[in-house]
Structure 1
Amino acid sequence: MVQSVHRAVRVLRELATAGPRLGVTELAERIGVAKPTVHALLRTLESEGLVRQDRETGKYLLGPGLLQLGNAYLDTQELRTRSVTWADALASRTGEAVWVAVLADDHVLVVHHAFRPEGAVQILEVGATIPWHTCALGKAIVAFLPEERQAALLGGELPRLTGRSVADPAALAEQLEQVRGIGYALEDQESALGDAGIASPVFDRSGEVVGAIGVVGPVEHVLTDETARRKHAVAVREVARNLSRELGAGRGTAWSEA
């Protein structure tokens, strides 16, 4: 591991999670290095457009160069590219918003968002990150990871975002087992009160889970109405299977057996 690169990444992560504005002293304390070292890191990152300095306060923020890198990542994300048509079709079929996500450490990262068909104001959620255990997308992915990776995630930090978030590893393990049996995961106001989700895993040509696709909407639309919930679940799982086929997954993969 190259120490200077590791420290630069830690600076960026602190600005992303603890910011939006942090000074040299604050960053030095957070990452545990001397102020001159942090100042040198910031100057280098600033020269590359990855951070910028607020001229009024002297504190640092994330820079526009990160957006370029993020867009480049999305442009090369095959799951996102392949999912656009399927997500639009699922949104039309269910009348709800559709998210496509991948696992990034212990969070899911939304890489595509198809708006629900109705014309109400909606916020684009591409780039949003959510703790894996608080959303259907995360549970759908983690349920099909290798056992050792599942164990590591279950043994890691499990923050509560709402009073309905499930943070008990044993309870989550039971949910993951259920997901493997039925082929889709549920979320009931676990990341945001009033919202619910249904998601299914997506597999690639290697047979490994690469992400998930699902509907997200008001709990009364997605879960409370039993008939609607079943229709949404069937639609989500069907689209996930078709998307997996497009990514090259064979009929012997886990999704075809669920």
Structure 2
Amino acid sequence: MLKTLDNSLELLKYFTREKRQWGVRELAKEMNISHTAVYRMLATFERYGFIKKEAKTNKYELGYAFLEYASILRDNLDITQLIHPVMKKVVEETNESVFLTWLDGEEGICLDIAESRQPVKYALSVGSRTVLHAGASNKVIMAYLPSSTQAAILDRGLLPRTGHTVREKDKLLQQLSQIRQDGWAYSVGEYTDSVFGIAVPLFAQDRQVVASLTIAGPDYRMPREKVPGVLQVLQAAQQEIQSLLHRIL
């Protein structure tokens, strides 16, 4: 019974922004289990509204039941309501978008965005999941994780997001050490081509890293000489948010 539950929950993780639809046999092959088992799991999820079959393709995709649960989670999550005004102030001072990335297991998840008003800006959706080995917003979290967790991430492989993603384990570990020493991270084109990121970590009361705050946008708007001034604004917001987090975490 527990194995079936594990497989069912694992199945849901295959429905991503990059791969939104699956056929039964296609998914069974990917999961390396029988297509009969996959069909039964999909049928059960479909019955409760968590999965639906798309009529044109005859493939399965996530159902609307998730929207209700997402709404409940969002309503109960006071963190973004507390932090968003601070993020908006950073946008006003820097004229660039600001992102709150939360640690979820061994991944990051975009929890909130305060968008720049500029016509050209970095676009990311709330709820997007990110690997922790690429980009300032992610590496500034990974830098403060226990070495055992870092090792687990490294062992899974450093799949490239762009041509600038660091793929050598030793080089990444050196960068993480430097980030931890500096207390902030800077990247250009590591997660998305031609996009810069300047990020600082956020901690719970027990000093465990829980999230990052990042300013990001087109790289042509952030030459190196502008970084110190923008970082100063970001670090002021970091201190303000830390005091908020320590009240609730």
Distance 1:168 1:77, change over 3 A: farther
TM-score w.r.t. length of structure 1: 0.87
Does 1:230 pair with 2:213?
no
2: distance between equivalents of 1:125 and 1:40?
32
Q: Is the 8 A contact 1:199 1:237 kept in 2?
A: no
Specify the SS of the correspondent of 1:150.
helix
Following TM superposition, by how much is the alpha carbon of 1:36 offset from its aligned partner in structure 2, in angstroms? 2.4
1:80-119 mapped onto 2 (5 Å cutoff): 80-118=80-118
Does 1:244 pair with 2:237?
no
1: distance between equivalents of 2:199 and 2:106?
17
2: distance between equivalents of 1:18 and 1:84?
28
Specify the SS of the correspondent of 1:15.
coil
1: distance between equivalents of 2:44 and 2:221?
49
2: distance between equivalents of 1:95 and 1:200?
18
2: distance between equivalents of 1:104 and 1:147?
17
Distance 1:71 1:186, change over 3 A: farther
What corresponds to 1:52 in structure 2?
A: 52
1:124-135 mapped onto 2 (5 Å cutoff): 125-135=125-135
What corresponds to 1:199 in structure 2?
A: 199
What corresponds to 1:14 in structure 2?
A: 14
Unaligned runs of 5+ in 1: 250-258
2: distance between equivalents of 1:147 and 1:180?
13
What corresponds to 2:70 in structure 1?
A: 70
Distance 1:122 1:68, change over 3 A: farther
2: distance between equivalents of 1:121 and 1:197?
12
Q: Number of residues paired by the alignment?
A: 247
Following TM superposition, by how much is the alpha carbon of 1:97 offset from its aligned partner in structure 2, in angstroms? 0.2
Unaligned runs of 5+ in 2: none
1: distance between equivalents of 2:118 and 2:88?
13
Report percent identity of matched pairs: 25
Specify the SS of the correspondent of 2:165.
coil
Following TM superposition, by how much is the alpha carbon of 1:179 offset from its aligned partner in structure 2, in angstroms? 1.4
Q: Is the 8 A contact 1:101 1:111 kept in 2?
A: yes
Larger deviation: 171-180 or 66-75? 66-75
TM-score w.r.t. length of structure 2: 0.90
Q: CA RMSD in A?
A: 2.1
Does 1:182 pair with 2:182?
yes
Following TM superposition, by how much is the alpha carbon of 1:124 offset from its aligned partner in structure 2, in angstroms? 5.4
